[in-house]
Amino acid sequence: MTRFAVPLLLTAAAAAFAQDLARKAPPESDDALKTRVSQFYQHFQRGEFRQAEGFLDEESKDLFYNSKKNRILDFNIQNVDYGGDFRSANVLVVCKTIIAMLGSEPVNMPLNSDWRFNEGEWRMHLTEHKRPEGADASSPFGPMSFSQDVATPGSGFQGQQGPAMARPTVESLASMYRVSTDTLTFPKASQEPVSRSMTVKSASVGRLSVEKKTGPIAGIEVEIEGADIEPGGEATITFTYDPTKAEHVSGRVRVDFMVMPISQSFQVYLDF
């Protein structure tokens, strides 16, 4: 359901942009979502996977049924990023779990999951990322072999044992990439298209990829060149504002991105 930070991870397509950094959901909606998220992960703490199924939308249940599910030791909701109508949200949860390939000590793993508000309650939505069965994959920790392409809380690595590795932390995962800037400034008034660019550089030993999570923004085109980043390489993200395709944009526009498979998010702010 959630995409684990080290194996192939699940993300969902439902993320929207926020033009106001301080924008918050109505308290009752925020409380309802966090309660549902907490209840879902509490089932994984207790190993109650059948009960956890009830927190998924119908189109996601087959993925859940077919995925490996292990218990987690603890969890903490770190961040909630709402869509524009507050009926969708991306939730970052840090789970404490044991990954056999990394040793017997618990590690903190960040997981992102998408939630949608339907028929009066919040439900998790899953999206499958296809990979041939048993295919080798390049991870930020080096080449890995996986036996499945769906990861759930606590599932950890699948496949062959390898040499001992440093256990990942939220901090070490965040250090695996660098962004050149998080703010780009556009002219307040322009009659012609204007472009601004920034880069994402890999500092990992395996392949990373950059995905745009924000939905379409009227008048603003986002292009990622070199989205699959080899070790030491970089991706270039270009933002083009075309005033002929939308009404005048003002203030600050936020665009969200995800670095996979380490499930790390970052934002770029476009100031007009």
Domain of residue 216: give its range: 177-271
Q: What is the CATH number of the domain that holds 54?
A: 3.10.450.50
Residue 265's contacts (CB-CB under 8 Å, 6 or more residues apart) are: 81, 90, 92, 112, 213, 256, 257, 258, 259
| Domain termination site, one of 138, 155, 174 | 174
pTM of the model: 0.48
39 vs 231: CA distance, rounded Å: 38
Residue type at position 244: T
Assigned domain for 6 exists: no
Q: How confident is the model at residue 154 (pLDDT cuts 50, 70, 90)?
A: very low
Give the mean model confidence (pLDDT) for residues 15-34. Answer: 68
In tens, the pLDDT along 158-201 reads: 333 334 444 455 567 778 899 999 999 998 778 889 999 999 99
Which of 31, 38, 213 shows the shortest CA–CA distance to 127?
A: 213
* Cβ–Cβ under 8 Å, residues 220 and 241: yes
pLDDT, residue 129, reads 56
Site of tokens 């986002």:
222
Higher pLDDT, 206 or 228: 228
Give 143 or 48, the one with higher predicted confidence: 48
* Region of residue 22 (left: phi > 0; alpha: psi -120 to 50; beta: else): alpha
For position 21, what pLDDT does the model report? 39
CB neighbour list of residue 120: distance below 8 Å, 6 or more residues apart: none
In tens, the pLDDT along 48-89 reads 888 999 999 998 888 888 777 778 889 999 889 998 889 999
Q: What is the mean pLDDT of residues 23-34?
A: 88
Tell me if 3 is assigned to some domain.
Answer: no
Same domain, 141 and 195: no
Question: Would 204 be classed as within a structural domain?
Answer: yes
User: Does residue 7 fall inside a structural domain?
Assistant: no
Structure tokens at 145: 């072999």
Q: Is the pLDDT confidence value at 11 over 70?
A: no
CB 134 within 8 A of CB 71: no
Question: Which one of 149, 174, 199 terminates a domain?
Answer: 174
**Count of domains for the chain:** 2
- Looking at the structure, tell me whether residues 159 and 200 fall in a common domain: no
DSSP state of 42: H
**Same domain, residue pair 196 and 266:** yes
What mean pLDDT is predicted for residues 11-24?
41
**Integer Rg of the chain from CA:** 19
66 and 168, same domain (yes or no):
yes
* d(C-alpha 49, C-alpha 144), whole Å: 27
Question: CA 167 to CA 72: how far, in whole Å?
Answer: 16
User: DSSP 3-state helix, strand, coil percentages of the chain (rounded to 5)?
Assistant: 15, 35, 45
Q: Is residue 11 part of a domain?
A: no
Token pair belonging to 156? 């950890």
Position 122 confidence tier, pLDDT thresholds 50, 70, 90:
very high
Confidence of residue 249 (pLDDT cuts 50, 70, 90): confident
Could you count the other beta carbons within 10 Å of the beta carbon of residue 10? 27
CATH assignment at residue 240: 2.60.40.10
What is residue 4's DSSP assignment? P
Tokens coding 220: 């603003």
pLDDT at residue 4 in the model: 39
**Joined tokens for residue 251:** 């203030």
**95 pLDDT above the threshold of 60:** yes
Residue 139 lies in a domain: yes
Distance CA 157, CA 148 (A): 10
Neighbours of 188 (CB within 10 A): 10
